Amino acid sequence: MTRAVCVMAAVLILAATDHARAASIPKEAGPPGPAWASPAFGADRLWDDGKAEFSVYRGTIKRYGVTRPVTAKIIAVKEDMDDAQRVKSDAGLVAGRTTTVLKLNYLHDFETGMYAYHQMTSTFLDRSTMQLRKLAMSSTEGCGITYVEVLPGASGWRHVSHSYFDGEGDRDVVITPQAGRPAVAWDGLALWLRALDFSTPQKFEIALLPSQIANRARIAAFVRASVEILPAKAAGVTARVSYTDRDGKPRVDMFVFAAAAPHVLTHLERGDGLALDLVKTQRIAYWEKTRPGDEKLLAP
């Protein structure tokens, strides 16, 4: 046997020994992931009825150190998204070109003295996986306009923002979530959380992109967050989301959902002072209700 052959045999033996040793070492368990509802929330035929879930909320919000009344609307509806443009497909579902999503629109309005705030997010979640496909935010008030768009991709989430504040005019960066945890946008939680299994308590961690609703377009970053589903009660199911916000302050946000499917959000308490209570919810093709007087449909 030549020396080269002997050396090769020794290398193979060492490699086999190392492989066996590695296989015998117990692997460290990763953090537990979410337990999803069964059947899947997104698969519910409710979303195929040609209508939207339209909910109206009233509550309070803090701005400039003052607690103020706020009115909010949360709209959830199924759409077919054109994958290339990430907009609604006029042609509907097209094999190989579109993804069916659940769109969550959140809008709120409140007065601050001589001018008002009008802020909105549109969050698009893949119907089959509940993963983010797109997030858009607009904020308008008496001083200016701010716009944010978030587009998940293979190398991270592209975060594009335009603001009227000095140093925030135009920004385009890629942010990367922490590995090993589901990446979730706060602005989609009111829908994303409803896809979880509410029948039993659970707790897990996520990589959270904090809410993008703001008139300031700060540099975005994921934060480590804990999601806890508390034991269900007759009054509903509470989800507690705990994290450190982008100002370095510990925060706990509480979402309360109706006990019965499809688990509409009935109450929200956000750590920054926003509090909302459900006034009315209905399934309706609201885009058809554009005549004078149709606003009465928003009344309790």
- pLDDT for the residue 23: 39
Write the CB contacts of 99 (distance below 8 Å, at least 6 apart in sequence).
80, 81, 83, 126, 127, 133
Cβ neighbours around 64 below 10 Å, total: 7
Q: Which helix (H) or strand (E) segment is 154 a member of?
A: none
- pLDDT for the residue 214: 94
Write the CB contacts of 196 (distance below 8 Å, at least 6 apart in sequence).
34, 35, 36, 37, 202, 229, 239
Among the listed residues 78, 77, 82, 60, the one whose alpha carbon sits nearest the alpha carbon of residue 69: 60
The DSSP string of 259-274 is: SSTT--EEEEE-TTS-
Query: Tens-of-pLDDT digits for all 300 residues of the chain?
Result: 454 444 344 433 333 443 443 333 333 445 689 999 999 999 999 999 999 999 999 999 999 999 999 999 999 999 999 999 999 999 999 999 999 999 999 999 999 999 999 999 999 999 999 999 999 999 999 999 999 999 999 999 999 999 999 999 999 999 999 999 999 999 999 999 999 999 999 999 999 999 999 999 987 899 999 999 999 999 899 999 999 987 788 999 999 999 999 999 999 999 999 999 999 999 999 999 999 999 999 999
Alpha helical stretches, state H, 25-66: none
**What's the predicted TM-score (pTM) here?**
0.88
Which 8-state DSSP code applies to residue 131? -
Cβ neighbours around 18 below 10 Å, total: 10
- pLDDT for the residue 15: 38
Q: Which residue has the tokens 């897990």?
A: 204
**What tokens appear for 273 in the block?**
């002072």
The DSSP string of 182-228 is: -EEEGGGHHHHGGGB--SS-EEEEEEEE----SSS-PPP--EEEEEE
Q: β-strand 250-257 against 170-175: which pairing, if any?
A: unpaired
- pLDDT for the residue 245: 81
- pLDDT for the residue 18: 38
How far is the C-alpha of 35 from the C-alpha of 202, rounded, in Å?
8
Write the CB contacts of 3 (distance below 8 Å, at least 6 apart in sequence).
none
Q: Which helix (H) or strand (E) segment is 107 a member of?
A: strand 98-112
Q: What is the CA radius of gyration of the chain?
A: 23
Q: How far is CA 232 from CA 34, 187, 199, 202, 250, in A?
A: 17, 23, 7, 11, 25
- pLDDT for the residue 31: 63
Cis peptide before 182 (omega within 30 of 0): no
How far is the C-alpha of 256 from the C-alpha of 264, rounded, in Å?
9
Q: Which residue has the tokens 């368990």?
A: 29
Contact 110, 92 (CB under 8 A): no
Phi, psi of 203 (to 5 degrees): -145, 135
Contact 198, 263 (CB under 8 A): yes
- pLDDT for the residue 32: 80
Contact 268, 254 (CB under 8 A): yes
3-state secondary structure of 48: helix
**What tokens appear for 158 in the block?**
């592209």
